[in-house]
A and B are shown apart, each in its own frame.
Chain A
Amino acid sequence: GENVEQHPSTLSVQEGDSAVIKCTYSDSASNYFPWYKQELGKGPQLIIDIRSNVGEKKDQRIAVTLNKTAKHFSLHITETQPEDSAVYFCAASHNTGNQFYFGTGTSLTVIP
């Protein structure tokens, strides 16, 4: 089955700096890659996603890039703010399957 690895496990940045979280996947058939933000005591919330026919997608301060050849995708957060502090999860799936496979999470701390 699919194996998704996520790095780093913890990340601290100064407010206003950028944060980058990277994930790799093993199954070349995977074609959908969502990112989730999870705040303490809450369920994961989708913040951005990308499909394999697209190399990059942006939504305000958040962007995701995908390199299908290398089988990795990354989350980029620019101009970080204290409210960006949370745990972020990447995931991979393909529309011919029934399962999502998640990374182990990155705890992001934005220092004011």
Chain B
Amino acid sequence: DAGITQSPRHKVTETGTPVTLRCHQTENHRYMYWYRQDPGHGLRLIHYSYGVKDTDKGEVSDGYSVSRSKTEDFLLTLESATSSQTSVYFCAITPSGGAGETQYFGPGTRLLVL
């Protein structure tokens, strides 16, 4: 998994509660990404980061926020979880730059919002 860890790997939560997912990398790569994966939709970009405190939105960013205070950690927060945010969340990195370069994925976090 290219030195990427995600935590937790599984989480069950209730509607309206805040949830934070963590992505950790060991190689100090600049670019990091958060995706969600749902049946029939493939992988959709939520947010990405191109450096410490440098982040931008993807195509499905509503209801999500991110933070990157250290190169190695990229956090995804659901401020008030909803059932529509039940999904599998993947973190990814591109060691050699941004888009247009090889991307590697973490093992995923399975989130269930009841």
A residues with a Cβ closer than 8 A to B are 1, 6, 31-32, 34, 36, 41-46, 49, 89, 91, 93-100, 102-105
Contact = CB atoms under 8 A, between A and B. Distances in A.
A99 B99 contact: yes
A103 B104 contact: no
Chain B interface, >50% SS class: loop
A42 to B, nearest CB: 6
23 contacts: A6-B42, A32-B99, A34-B102, A34-B103, A36-B105, A42-B108, A43-B90, A43-B105, A43-B106, A43-B107, A44-B43, A44-B90, A46-B102, A89-B43, A91-B43, A93-B100, A97-B100, A98-B48, A98-B56, A102-B43, A103-B42, A104-B42, A105-B42
A89 B98 contact: no
Contacts of A100: 33, 45, 99, 103
A100 B56 CA distance: 14
B50 interface: yes
Contacts of A45: 105
B58 interface: yes
Contacts of A91: 43, 103
Contacts of B102: 34, 46, 49
Contacts of B48: 98-99
B59 interface: yes
B38 to A, nearest CB: 10
Contacts, number: 66
B10 to A, nearest CB: 11
Contacts of A97: 98-100
A45 B43 CA distance: 13
A95 B97 contact: yes
A57 to B, nearest CB: 13
Contacts of B58: 99
B44 interface: yes
A95 B33 CA distance: 16
Contacts of A46: 102-104
A73 B41 CA distance: 19
Closest 10 CB pairs of A and B: A95-B100, A43-B105, A93-B99, A104-B42, A102-B43, A102-B42, A32-B100, A97-B99, A44-B105, A98-B98
